Amino acid sequence: MTQIRSSYLKAWMLVGVLFSFWATSGIAQDSHPAKIVAIGGSVTEIVYALGEEARLIGRDSTSVYPPQALKLPDAGYIRALSPEGVLSLNPDLILMLDGAGPPEALETIKAAGVPIATIPDGYDAASISKKVEAVGAALGVEPKAHVLANRLNGALQAAIAKSADQKPKVRVLFILSLQNGRVMAAGNHNHADGILKLAGAENVMADINGYKQVSDEAIIKAAPDVVVMMTGTGGHATDDQTVLSNPAIAATPAGKARRLVRMDGMYLLGFGPRTADAVTALNAALLEPGKTE
């Protein structure tokens, strides 16, 4: 009898240890969290595409699509998160696109014991499926995520195949911002370069890494056929006339033909559920003078 009581006691002690571990490690005890904060516009879009939006209680400022997401409390900008803003929503899970920050904010959130599911980012075709599968796993809806990932991949491959038929490739200068006459352009290994490749275009600044200011001489030498910019605020809000009258840009084929394409930033660079449509729209805009989204 004593032995049996001892066994029961040990079993209850083990349960207590495990409960303590779950409570302090940040691991969600519920495999289907109901109060989720999404950080990253594409992550939020995926949650909606999966039909799991009823579980969202907050989002970051880049999560502007679909429009109903704007009704959710804003927890701050993805790269300048406020721990207080996120934690005040009392989430039981944070879906966070890789690259969110700053690091000290993430440490504070982790120290509070809130589980964080880091969603991989990327700028190629495969990265979208990886995002969808990762979000689905974090939400416990893997079968739905697998179906969505396959559907999105099929649409994207069709869009890529159509864009690949265009020859010669349109030479594009992707401008991130234009301030005080200085052009910040997209080189390689980033979302802008990724979407240009998917749309069958040639990035004229592909020999530089990341986003960098480029000289007037480099722009003139690159001789782009088209300039692409995001719509938005700050440097992206520079009006068309200012962009096209920039001396370096005006000296290029794009400037002489007044070929400037603008598209919504999250639509263009989000690498989420709408990317197949963005590839098709960008390809069409590059081939048809004056067409923008």
Residue 232 pLDDT > 70, yes or no? no
Letter string b/e over residues 97-126, b meaning 16 or more CB atoms within 10 A of that residue's CB: beebeeeebbebbeeeebbbbbbebebebe
Give the amino acid at 163. S
Structure tokens at 62: 């880049």
Structure tokens at 175: 């401008």
Q: Which domains does the chain have, with CATH numbers?
A: 36-161 (3.40.50.1980), 166-287 (3.40.50.1980)
Give the amino acid at 17. V
**pLDDT score, position 12:** 40
- pLDDT-wise least confident of 21-30, 68-77, 249-258: 21-30
Q: How confident is the model at residue 289 (pLDDT cuts 50, 70, 90)?
A: low
Structure tokens at 168: 């010669």
The mean pLDDT value for 205-227 works out to 97
For 159-180, how does the pLDDT look when each residue is reduced to its tens digit (9 = 90+)?
999 998 777 899 999 999 998 8
pLDDT higher at 212 or 27: 212
Q: How confident is the model at residue 288 (pLDDT cuts 50, 70, 90)?
A: confident
**pLDDT score, position 233:** 55
Residue 220 pLDDT > 70, yes or no? yes
The mean pLDDT value for 195-200 works out to 97
- Does the N-terminal peptide bond of residue 168 adopt cis geometry, omega within 30 degrees of 0? yes
**pLDDT score, position 268:** 97
The mean pLDDT value for 213-230 works out to 98
**pLDDT score, position 31:** 58
Give the amino acid at 52. E
- Are 37 and 58 contacting, i.e. CB atoms less than 8 angstroms apart? yes
The answer for 292, left when phi > 0, alpha when psi is -120 to 50, beta otherwise, is beta
Q: How confident is the model at residue 269 (pLDDT cuts 50, 70, 90)?
A: very high
- Are 200 and 284 contacting, i.e. CB atoms less than 8 angstroms apart? no
Q: Which residues does residue 56 pair with via DSSP β-bridges, in sequence order?
A: 36
Q: CA 53 to CA 44: how far, in whole Å?
A: 8
Q: How many CB atoms lie within 10 A of CB 151?
A: 14
Which of 7-21, 89-103, 161-175 has the largest mean confidence? Answer: 89-103
Alpha helices in the chain (DSSP H): 2-25, 41-49, 83-87, 103-111, 125-139, 142-164, 191-198, 216-222, 240-244, 247-250, 253-257, 265-269, 275-287
Residue 204 pLDDT > 90, yes or no? yes
The mean pLDDT value for 36-57 works out to 98
Q: What are 156-159's contacts with CB under 8 Å, separation 24+?
A: 156/125, 156/128, 156/198, 156/275, 156/276, 156/279, 157/125, 158/276, 159/198, 159/276, 159/277, 159/279, 159/280, 159/283
- For residues 45, 46, 50 and 55, what is the CA-based torsion angle, rounded to 10 degrees? -70
What pTM value is reported for the model?
A: 0.86
Q: Which residues does residue 65 pair with via DSSP β-bridges, in sequence order?
A: none
**pLDDT score, position 234:** 54
Q: How many CA atoms lie within 13 A of 194 on its CB side?
A: 20
Q: CA 284 to CA 289: how far, in whole Å?
A: 9
The mean pLDDT value for 44-48 works out to 98
For 125-168, how does the pLDDT look when each residue is reduced to its tens digit (9 = 90+)?
999 999 999 999 999 999 999 999 999 999 999 999 999 877 78
Average of per-residue pLDDT values in the chain: 89
**pLDDT score, position 166:** 75
For 112-128, how does the pLDDT look when each residue is reduced to its tens digit (9 = 90+)?
999 999 999 999 999 99
- pLDDT-wise least confident of 35-49, 124-138, 186-200, 227-241: 227-241
The mean pLDDT value for 237-245 works out to 90
pLDDT higher at 31 or 214: 214
Q: CA 139 to CA 134: how far, in whole Å?
A: 9
Structure tokens at 243: 């962009």
Cα distances from 96 to residues 19, 121, 136, 215, 262, in angstroms, run 26, 10, 13, 36, 28
**Bridge pairing between strands 171-179 and 182-186:** antiparallel
